[in-house]
Chains A and B, each alone.
Chain A
Amino acid sequence: QVQVVESGGGVVQPGRSLRLSCVASGFTFTNYAMFWVRQAPGKGPEWVALIWSDGTNRFFAESVKGRFTISRDNSKNTIYLQMNSLRAEDTAVYYCAKDRGAWSGDNWGQGTLVVVSS
């Protein structure tokens, strides 16, 4: 059974950093790209970042480019989202999702809430 579990969310002050983790199981992790997608309260989802299966390519939304980085440890079936210089508008539930191919996420975690507030 495919499972994706995010962690690391919390309340953080503007300008500070936070690292999210996502542990996957139930599928061959090294075969799949992985996404981070966020959803602000009452809003639609917003794609944040994608990392290829081997970690050689990483892509970011313009809204987070230069502030967020994505990485993965295939030995631990885990991806990470390092978020620096956080802003109030980064407040959202952050989801990790497996890319089934063609930029579509077919298995999502339950999400982890990030609140950026002073």
Chain B
Amino acid sequence: QSALTQPPSASGSPGQSVTISCTGTTSDVNNYNIVSWYQQHPDKAPKLIIYEVSKRPSGVPDRFSGSKSGNTASLTVSGLQAEDEADYYCSSFAGNNNLVFGGGTKLTVL
């Protein structure tokens, strides 16, 4: 069982927006602005798309955005494109030099 809870699946049509949630506790997501999101295509390594809740690394489209409220962080993908179909994982610093991940959400572009 993963430390952070994500819905197993999400979907949307091209051009639409979809939001994926990541629920933790007061020990991790709520307590630190150190939430990251990763995109993983089949048989590929994870790719960082959001760090520190809402910052995007260079080269990541601004269609990807992150936010946080209380124990829940969220990733929003706007203007869905076919290449956005992938697994998405959140992570959060959990204190005591510990990092926890979510179980992942499979995003399907219909």
Contacts and interface: CB of A to CB of B under 8 A. Distances in A.
B99 A47 contact: yes
Contacts of B57: 100, 106
Contact of A45 (B38, B51, B98): B38
Contacts of B47: 108
B45 A104 contact: no
Interface in A25-77: 37, 43-47, 50, 59, 61-62
Could you say which interface size class chain B belongs to? 20 to 34
Contacts of B103: 43-44
Interface residues of A, number: 21
Contact of A61 (B34, B91, B98): B98
Closest 3 pairs (CB-CB, A-B): A59-B97, A104-B51, A108-B45
Interface of B: 2, 34, 36, 38, 45-48, 51-52, 57, 89, 91, 93, 97-104
28 contacts: A37-B46, A44-B89, A44-B101, A44-B103, A45-B38, A45-B89, A46-B101, A47-B99, A50-B97, A50-B99, A59-B97, A61-B98, A62-B98, A95-B45, A102-B36, A102-B51, A102-B93, A103-B36, A104-B34, A104-B36, A104-B51, A104-B91, A105-B46, A105-B48, A106-B48, A106-B57, A109-B45, A110-B45
